[in-house]
Amino acid sequence: MTTPIEPGRKTVPIRWRDLDGFNHVNNAVYLNYLEEGRDAWLANALGEGITQLTEFVVRHVSIDFISALTQEDGAALVKVEVESVGNSSITLRETVHASSDDRLCASARGVLVHTNVEHTESRPLPADLKLRLEASIAN
């Protein structure tokens, strides 16, 4: 039986520099929060010896903004789970929540592609990783 990869959770502190003129987290900063959550999830998903973190590139991200994050929320909680798996790609469902009350602040989809070292061509996912990812698909 293949062991599924657990959904990821990463807490990212809200820094003063993240805020815009309205004292909300700037919309562009959400990409940084998602990246931190995605990188932590991927490092955990890969484990040791499966493949390199640097063999994956982000090919697509879309974000729906739902509720503003502010400094008073303290931190953003990024949650990552597998939505689907292709031959060389992984589609992730990613959300950003306020750590203060778990309020949903943004919902995103990200697509990672497994590539060659030069990042010029996609490569098939390693078979064992693909099986683990497929066993992890969220409902």
What digits encode the pLDDT tens for the residues 47-77? Answer: 765 557 788 999 999 999 999 999 999 999 9
Phi-psi region of 63 (alpha: psi -120 to 50; beta: other; left: phi over 0): beta
User: Is the pLDDT confidence value at 26 over 70?
Assistant: yes
pLDDT of residue 3: 81
For residues 32 and 103, give the distance between their C-alpha atoms in angstroms, rounded to a whole number. 19
**Is 129 or 70 the better-scoring residue by pLDDT?**
70
What are φ and ψ of residue 86, in 5° steps?
-105, -165
What digits encode the pLDDT tens for the residues 86-97? Answer: 999 999 999 999
C-alpha triplet 122, 125, 131: angle, nearest 5°: 155
Q: What is the mean pLDDT of the chain?
A: 93
b/e code 112-127 from CB counts within 10 Å (16+ = b) = bbbbeeeeeebeebee
Question: What is the band of 5 on the pLDDT scale with cuts at 50, 70, 90?
Answer: confident
Question: What is the band of 81 on the pLDDT scale with cuts at 50, 70, 90?
Answer: very high
pLDDT of residue 95: 98
pTM, whole model, 2 decimals?
Answer: 0.92
Q: 75 vs 36, 54, 71, 108, 127, CA distance in Å? A: 13, 27, 8, 18, 36
